[in-house]
Structure 1
Amino acid sequence: MKKIKYLLLFVFTSLVSCDSDDTNAPIIDEEGKEVALVNPFPNLSFNQPLDLQSPDDGTDRIFVVEKRGRIVVFENDSTTTSVTDFLNISTISSASEQGLLGLAFHPNYSSNGYFYIFYTPNANLAVVSRFTVSDDVNVADAGSEVVILEIPQPETNHNGGQLSFGPDGYLYIAVGDGGGAGDPDNNAQNRTNLLGNILRIDVDNEDNGLNYAIPATNPFVNEASVRPEIFAYGLRNPWRMSFDVQDGSLWAADVGQGAREEINTIVSGGNYGWRIFEGNSCFSGDCETTGLEAPIFEYGHDNGDRSVTGGFVYRGTELPSLVGKYVYGDFVSGRIWALDTANATNALLLEPRLSIASFGTDNENELYVCDFGGTIYKFALRNSE
């Protein structure tokens, strides 16, 4: 899975932009301990894990999404020896960058049992569906599917696939440009379709025969010929987005074409420039910057970095040195960084050489990383001596 193609080695875009290596000093807390990765579930392995989620339902469980169509659930405990199949839709298309790509639990999951997935039932379509948990809290009702939204896919790559509920209670959906080198149909700048966008919908209401409603505050609801679901646009392949649980800001990493990778903070109505720009570099057309949102960071490919994987602003308690920093990685190089926007610095955090497919958090906002090879790791502290 080339995951989603290309990227990385940070460059602080709006404030700094270069291809020199970033800070290599380890991040050490006041007690002299370094950030490290540990295997918190040594008895478990997974098949191409792409997402990790934990519902806010009063339990301490972890759900892992596997590319080929399975969601598994298990207790967040190092002694756990097995997983339970929560949902299995393995008849889907999982070639190239397709598959079961995202999972989000409804904010009221503990009372309504609703969860949402993003998957590709065939090579030409992406679907967002709602399912309901069964009477067994560890097993979904496989027959409860309600298709919420269908998105035609011209190619098998650049699907995006992240789902996340915002602090406003709406469902945000990351969608790639439809694939093909250089966005040949200019989908990311074409707001008459749903490709190359961050979408925002209201899944608690219905409008005009749809299984969802359009939030009245969406930025383009009053513009003719523009899809009102669009919250932000101009994205190539947003591979992983997340909300900062403290301030509500939305962060998304966007995989580059062949030279620049970028990280953005997503704002309502923002145009993030693809295919006019790749990062801060002109890609096609007149490359006029008026009306475009510059990335928070960009980086090049000079050091083996090729495909950015977006992470989280860390808000846990076990790693004081990371609080407030955006932690992200690269699928190809297997390196992990911590981006401190307050000081305009980007520090190399770890070089585990994993195939970093996704990050996730548990109910305590502690941070995990999904290795596409089949292992889940947790960020922890170790003595630097």
Structure 2
Amino acid sequence: MVRCLLLVLFVSLSACGGSGGGGASFGLAGRPGNTQCLAFAASGEVQLTALVPNLAFDAPLLMVPHPSQNTVVYVLEQAGTVYRVDLATETRSVLVNLADFYPISDPASCLECGLLGMAFDPAFADNGYLYLSFTQGPPSLTSYVARFQSTDNGQSLRGNGAGALERFDLMTQAQPYRNHNGGHIAFGPDNLLYIGLGDGGDANDPQNRAQDLSTRLGKMLRYTADGSPASNGVSGSVPEIYAYGLRNPWRWSFDRSTGALWAGDVGQDDFEEINIITRGGNYGWRCYEGFQRTANSCSVSSGFEPPVHAYGRGDGISVTGGYVYRGGAIPPLRGAYLFSDFGSGTLWALTRRPDGSYQRRTLLETGRNVASFGQDNQGELYLVTTTGLFRIDPVVEEIELPQRLSDTGCVQANAPWQPADALIPYQPIEGFWSDGADKTRYLALPDNTTVGLTDTGDFEFPRGSVLVKNFSLDQRPVETRLYLHNADGSWSGYSYRWDEAGSDAELVAGSQDVDLGGQVWHYPSAGECTQCHTRAAGFTLGLETLQLDAPFTYPQTGISANQLDTLAGIGVLERAPTPAQRSRRLSASTDPDASLEARARSYLHSNCSHCHRPGGTTQSSMDLRFTTTLGTTGTCGIAPSTEDPDRPGAQLLAPGDAANSLLHLRMLAGDSDRMPPISTLRVDQRGAQLVADWIDSLAGCN
């Protein structure tokens, strides 16, 4: 059966009144499994998709995402250059070339030296701090972790006014040899800065530095953002040591779901290691390599923590640590640790068995030298190789949309008016106007995936998710509208038109206007869907904390419970919403207990703000989001950019005068001028009157 799309049950799903938040009970007993109702059919196998193939890099070692701009990444070249790369436009600019300012080690003569790591401060949006890890020299080879500042959101680094960079060194470590410098840095979930250093080099760690708690070499270190050692509490050690017994930790990362620290530690003669690093742990080098005792004369200063996995020379020569996959594009791999080898280029997945042991399987022979992995803000993974940058994508089964809804796998095949068991119903507090139609809504997620929440409360769905909206007029089903999150990260919408008997629905090609017994109904094209479901609005519109922080009666159980609590409780949300995300909520425009302002602003938010907001698709500068104060909406007391010839002197919103407010008048206009302009053929008289009453009640713009 084709694995895509979705439907809705044509029954009235009513939400109960009352405020949201704080409820401990859930409306559903658990999250339903879903193996059929998916936007695409993905296997656990993967393929590599080249990023910015028109851009060439010289010895790239790392790719780091911008903290808030999802299409911007930073690519580090070992010789000292940091590029800011816009993946959307496939262009780049130079953030900095450290070699222009400092004697950065030349990779041609010092193979494991140079620019090795980069991390953004957790508070980068406020302080502009970012951190670089690099080596300077020879003749005196030294590792540094230094803090720099950007005052333009990561486009350049701040200078000191005398032709140099403003730099603050957090860590300085002399290196006895030209190998095993480690150098990776990252902030942990505790907002502390972790630094990985190798044992200082040469063979067999001749000074046994990895076991020596008086030196930072061969250690995982942990600092506060200002360079002070964190409270690591490793007995007998210098205070910054978090864990020890490492040979050369080449790339490590935190599981964004559990916080566990996974590291690849490069071996010497026999084994490469994957370790889960914990505070105070001793990972054995130079006394152990993999699970095996070495021939070196040494003793482990405290209990040896064996690796979770080790592999020998038949599989590779230098491990490249990766990430636990927490993205949405490849559901079968969620929770697996992906890693590779610089020499063999094999891409592996490590999964935990029920008995606690780990099983490795090969995903792909890349044929490339894998220097590091990257993880974007959505949890998708990338490879940085000597021949370029690549995204790890699923091998997707090419499918055609079924012509009939009953064939989609998202409804009961023999009763397509009934939803499949995998569907989860929801209802926004204030739905948008759809020519008087009643609507029901569902969501379906791939198994082992979750929905993230942005700071503003928008839902971030994993790839493969499907959303649905069902429309009925006078209890007659007329349309099922499907919204699919595709394998490439895009969204696309499709409509199914129900037959007169209500027995099944057929896929609509393009857009159609159909007379349904006296009312003309508009079936939108895929292009029309994208005009409302904007990137700026988070694509999915009604799925946001503002809209769902309210009780809802779940038809499966008959239980009324808060929707956010339920979605978090059954494992749909990656984590429960924060108090800040729940500090505001919409009001139903028909709620007699809500204020006139709350009802009108909620109506405008639902019907207009998906386009009228920063980054929206309209040329207007209006911002009609519920959370925007009236004085900053760009409407109150503001004349339109082009005067309306039928209403000379009218303002976008004239306080106390709805008759001269275009915000109200456009809701009553003819077809081409009416707002909203897409997929509606009837004026919402009740909504227009609500907005008029609110405008007439205003005494000013405050």
Same fold (TM over 0.5): yes
1:97-135 per-position Cα deviation (integer Å, ceiling 9, x unaligned) = 101000000001111110001100113210000000143
> Aligned runs of 1:91-130 on 2, under 5 Å?
91-94=103-106, 95-123=110-138, 124-130=141-147
Contact 2:43 2:332 in 1 (8 A): no
- Counterpart in 2 of 1:365? 379
Bigger mean CA offset, 35-44 vs 157-166: 35-44
> Aligned runs of 1:205-216 on 2, under 5 Å?
212-216=227-231
Q: Which has the higher strand share?
A: 1
SS where residue 166 of structure 2 aligns? Answer: strand
What amino acid sits opposite 1:315 in the alignment? Answer: R
5+ residue gaps, structure 1, are 1-28, 205-211
Larger RCO (alpha carbons 8 Å, 6+ apart): 1
Counterpart CA distance in 1 for 2:201 and 2:180 is 5
What amino acid sits opposite 1:88 in the alignment? Answer: N
- Counterpart in 2 of 1:202? 224
Contact 1:161 1:174 in 2 (8 A): yes
Candidates 389, 392, 395, aligned match of 1:376? 389
Residues 32 and 239 of structure 1, relative CA distance in 2, 3 Å threshold: closer
> Aligned runs of 1:128-277 on 2, under 5 Å?
128-135=145-152, 137-142=154-159, 143-204=165-226, 212-216=227-231, 218-220=232-234, 223=236, 226-277=237-288
SS where residue 321 of structure 1 aligns? Answer: helix
Residues 380 and 189 of structure 1, relative CA distance in 2, 3 Å threshold: same
Candidates 308, 319, 323, aligned match of 1:296? 308
SS where residue 111 of structure 1 aligns? Answer: helix
Counterpart CA distance in 2 for 1:73 and 1:164 is 18
CA shift, 1:76, in A, is: 2.6
CA shift, 1:233, in A, is: 0.1
1:206-245 per-position Cα deviation (integer Å, ceiling 9, x unaligned) = xxxxxx22223x022x63xx21100000000000010000
Residues 129 and 288 of structure 1, relative CA distance in 2, 3 Å threshold: closer
Contact 2:112 2:181 in 1 (8 A): yes
Counterpart CA distance in 1 for 2:57 and 2:93 is 12
What amino acid sits opposite 1:337 in the alignment? Answer: W
Percentage identity across aligned positions? 40
* Residue 369 of structure 2 is aligned to residue 355 of structure 1: yes
CA shift, 1:203, in A, is: 1.7
Q: Which has the higher helix share?
A: 2
CA shift, 1:288, in A, is: 6.5
* Residue 347 of structure 2 is aligned to residue 339 of structure 1: no
Counterpart CA distance in 2 for 1:237 and 1:93 is 18
SS where residue 51 of structure 2 aligns? Answer: coil
TM-score by length of 2: 0.47
5+ residue gaps, structure 2, are 1-39, 160-164, 399-702
TM-score by length of 1: 0.85
What amino acid sits opposite 2:283 in the alignment? Answer: Y
Candidates 85, 89, 93, aligned match of 1:74? 85
What amino acid sits opposite 1:83 in the alignment? Answer: R
Residues 60 and 384 of structure 1, relative CA distance in 2, 3 Å threshold: closer
CA shift, 1:56, in A, is: 1.9
- Counterpart in 2 of 1:209? none
Contact 2:44 2:332 in 1 (8 A): no
Contact 1:33 1:383 in 2 (8 A): no
Contact 1:62 1:74 in 2 (8 A): yes
CA shift, 1:136, in A, is: 6.5
1:262-295 per-position Cα deviation (integer Å, ceiling 9, x unaligned) = 0000000000000000111111236679611000
Counterpart CA distance in 1 for 2:51 and 2:61 is 17
Contact 1:55 1:109 in 2 (8 A): no
Larger Rg, first or second structure (1 or 2) = 2
Residues 384 and 286 of structure 1, relative CA distance in 2, 3 Å threshold: farther
Residues 33 and 128 of structure 1, relative CA distance in 2, 3 Å threshold: closer
